[in-house]
Amino acid sequence: MKKLFLIALMSGMFFTSCTKQESANNPLLAEYNTPFDVPPFEKVKLEHFTPAFEEAMKQHKAEIEAILTNPEEPTYENTVEASYYAGELLGKVGAVFGTFNSVNISDEIQVLAQEIYPKLSAHGDEIRLDPRYFERIKVVYENRDKYELNEEQLFLLENGYKSFIRSGAALPEDKKEILKQINQQLSSLTLQFSQNVLAEVNNFKLIITDEVALSGLPEASIQAAAETAAKDSMEGWVFTIQKPSMIPFIQYADNRELRKTIYDAYVNQGNHDDEKDNKDILAQIVNLRVKRANLLGYENHAAYRTENRMAKNPERVFDLLNQLWEGILPKVKEERAALQAMIDKEGGDFKLEPHDWFYYTEKLRKEKYDLDESEVRPYFELENVRKGIFTVANKLYGITFTEIDGIPVPHPETTVYEVKEADGSHIGLFFMDMHPRASKRGGAWCSGFQGHSFTKDGKEITPLVNNVCNLTRSSGDTPALLSVDEVSTMFHEFGHALDGLFSETSYRAGNIAWDFVELPAQIMEHWAFEPEVLKMYAAHYETGEVIPDELIEKLEKSANFNQGFGLTEILAASLLDMKFHMMTEEDPNLNVMDFEKKYMDEIGLIPEIYSRYRPTYFRHIMGGYDAGYYSYTWASVLDNDAFEAFKETDIFDQVTAKSFRENVLAMNGIKDAMEMYVAFRGREPKIDALLKSLGIE
């Protein structure tokens, strides 16, 4: 998942000067004086944020007020462009706080976040909904032809004007007040939802004291569980619902009841009728989104969210999802039958259930392809995978990555690399934070402390890009050995990083179509398991032996194995997300779990599979993917079609790579998504490559 390098049209992320006293007392209000202007993370303390935000909002408001009271006729330069450079300090403070609130989480920072984010929401609304602001933007927009704007400026102006309309700038004052209240409520509720999920993940522990219960588990998983127990001063072994701990357990543990215990804990996060329960919170969020969409003139939240994306409307989203759903259901039912047959063959007197799927899938994989994932992990040592990713980027784009010290980092586990062009010129910095911990939210994402832009006087600001994952840790003398899915995750997030590093935006503003945003990430996954690429990085961590052809062949043959399950999970979540946000009116009696069950039954989701994310822990729809989780599937059409362009020549064809960089990665956010794609591919995307990869006629 990518945390976008998007800033609202009228907000920036540069630095503005403060008083000497403020600068001396608060590192967030002082010039950083660090290499590459990286935030001085190690100097920042919790008590610095509130005064920094207050000062930053004060400055931002003053800067906007100066624009709005300018007696000169509104022009692109004195209104729109001036707005890009306003809020510079606020953006910087926000970037640091957002980082702390995702990788250095504590009870104190969560309390602070509940105070700060509603204030930021109110601050943003106060600016965006000021009628003077909209009037000036409207004048500029209506006279845009006379300003001789370049392509980027015109694109940002047109989309910025539309965003003002979508933000409620044209509403009467009484409705603006209602909108402000809704936005503040949503800010608080979505944050609380995510905090509850984090608490659930950190609180659950499956404690095992009888060694017999470990039967079937890989030694690395057992050792990691022992280390977790020791860290918590416990006897035995501790397993959690963090995926590096849970996934091997439900894949290999012979104890069926324990598999059920840990998997049920995972799929019922936030669904326990206690103080961390998310059912009512999600119901409130969905209803508030309906209310806001209606207020803004839309039939539902899905119509509001898809309007400025490639899909344009919910109907096109459902067309794609339903086409794939109908194609994949027969596949997943075949997979179910094969797993049940294995259970029956072993004499199991029970029906396949969701917590059995992973376990018997691994058994079937071993039987059909003589492939055990634990056999592959030794070739996917994290550092080797990282080197492989860098090698792929070098062969495609000529860029290099050099680890550097002395750079402030958000957490001690973060490593930093300087990224350079083939000629040695600086591109930006790349940060990597790869392992789970209690102070870090789950999942994987790409964010940035600073995006590409230019200052008013023409100085280039280079990107500071951050990849964050929750991958398997090292254990004892064994280094971090990754699963196939974790390797894909590293390649995926790195694709987002390249999108940020290669950006050629002039301003810290952009308008990326949300259902286009996953293309740069998902296309990178295609290189991960190409035989030529595997030979570059997949080496046994003990012997150094390059992954043998026999194992590569097994990986290739099993590539589509269990694919019905994977796509069914994702499509179910995508459809559920859309269905929630197709509500046209508020429902005070909304029960989100009943809603889920009724809809999953309606579309025919088999009972042996849950949606990838169930309502009470669906964090994606708290962080921008509301009525947008389909974006991964939409982008699958794009990435499969785009990778075909490489396959038609060579997977390392530098002419094709150059075109992808210049037409897609460099332009992302400052040019229409379809125009970018056509400029690269020479035509609009086709679904054929995706259907072929899924084995769907």
Confidence of residue 5 (pLDDT cuts 50, 70, 90): very low
pTM of the predicted model, to two decimals? 0.92
**Is there a contact between 463 and 428 (Cβ–Cβ < 8 Å)?**
yes
What's the pLDDT tens digit per position in 575-605? 999 999 999 999 999 999 999 999 999 999 9
How much is the pLDDT for 24?
63
Tokens of 2: 């990518």
How much is the pLDDT for 623?
81
Tokens of 162: 């539309």
Confidence of residue 508 (pLDDT cuts 50, 70, 90): confident
Return all residues near 228 (Cβ < 8 A) that are at least 6 apart.
Answer: 237, 238, 239, 240, 245
Residue 670 CA to residue 657 CA, distance in Å, equals 20
Average pLDDT rounded to a whole number, residues 331-357: 97
**Which residues are 27's β-sheet partners?**
none
What distances in angstroms separate CA 301 from CA 2, 24, 126, 439, one per listed residue?
A: 22, 46, 22, 33
The one-letter code for the residue type at 223 is: Q
Let me know how many helices (H) and strands (E) the chain has, helices first. Answer: 27, 9
Residues 152, 200, 493, 518: which is the catalytic one? 493
SS (H, E, C) 458-484: CCEECCEEEEECCCCCCECCECCECCH
Is 675 annotated in the active site?
Answer: no
Residue 140 CA to residue 127 CA, distance in Å, equals 18
User: Which strands sit side by side in the sheet containing 464-468, from one edge to the other?
Assistant: 400-403, 415-420, 426-433, 464-468, 445-450
How much is the pLDDT for 21?
54
| Rounded (5°) CA angle 227-230-233 | 155
What distances in angstroms separate CA 124 from CA 8, 70, 214, 543, one per listed residue?
A: 9, 20, 53, 57
pLDDT at residue 684 tops 80 = yes
Residue 692 CA to residue 697 CA, distance in Å, equals 7
Reference 276, options 261, 286, 265; nearest CA is: 265
Phi first, then psi, for residue 489 (nearest 5°) are: -60, -45
Using the structure block, give the residue that is written with the tokens 């619902």. 241
What's the pLDDT tens digit per position in 158-198? 999 999 999 999 999 999 999 999 999 999 999 999 999 99
Q: How close are the terminal C-alpha atoms of the chain, in Å?
A: 29
Tokens of 135: 């009037």
pLDDT at residue 378 tops 90 = yes
Residue 118 CA to residue 98 CA, distance in Å, equals 14
Tokens of 219: 């030694």
Residue 422 CA to residue 470 CA, distance in Å, equals 31
How much is the pLDDT for 7?
31
pLDDT at residue 522 tops 80 = yes
- Indicate the DSSP class of residue 306: H
Reference 380, options 469, 487, 468; nearest CA is: 487
**Is there a contact between 604 and 329 (Cβ–Cβ < 8 Å)?**
yes
Matching fold, domains 20-188 and 378-557+631-682: yes
pLDDT at residue 6 tops 60 = no
How much is the pLDDT for 14?
28
**Is there a contact between 666 and 504 (Cβ–Cβ < 8 Å)?**
yes
- Indicate the DSSP class of residue 1: -
Task: Kindly give the pairing relationship between strand 237-239 and strand 206-208.
Answer: antiparallel
Average pLDDT rounded to a whole number, residues 107-118: 96
Report the CATH fold assignment for 20-188: Neurolysin; domain 3 (1.10.1370)
Tokens of 345: 């063959």
> How do the domains of the chain map onto residue ranges?
20-188, 204-267, 378-557+631-682
Return all residues near 364 (Cβ < 8 A) that are at least 6 apart.
Answer: 338, 339, 342, 561
Residue 38 CA to residue 409 CA, distance in Å, equals 8
**Which residues are 430's β-sheet partners?**
417, 465
Tokens of 650: 């060579």
How much is the pLDDT for 1?
52
Reference 621, options 324, 270, 285; nearest CA is: 285
Report the CATH fold assignment for 378-557+631-682: Neurolysin; domain 3 (1.10.1370)
What's the pLDDT tens digit per position in 7-28? 333 333 322 334 455 556 899 9
What's the pLDDT tens digit per position in 413-438? 999 999 999 999 999 999 999 999 99
How much is the pLDDT for 510?
83
pLDDT at residue 276 tops 50 = yes
**Is there a contact between 333 and 609 (Cβ–Cβ < 8 Å)?**
no
Residue 537 CA to residue 384 CA, distance in Å, equals 5
How much is the pLDDT for 17?
35
Average pLDDT rounded to a whole number, residues 55-60: 98
- Indicate the DSSP class of residue 219: H
How much is the pLDDT for 11?
34
Residue 4 CA to residue 625 CA, distance in Å, equals 11
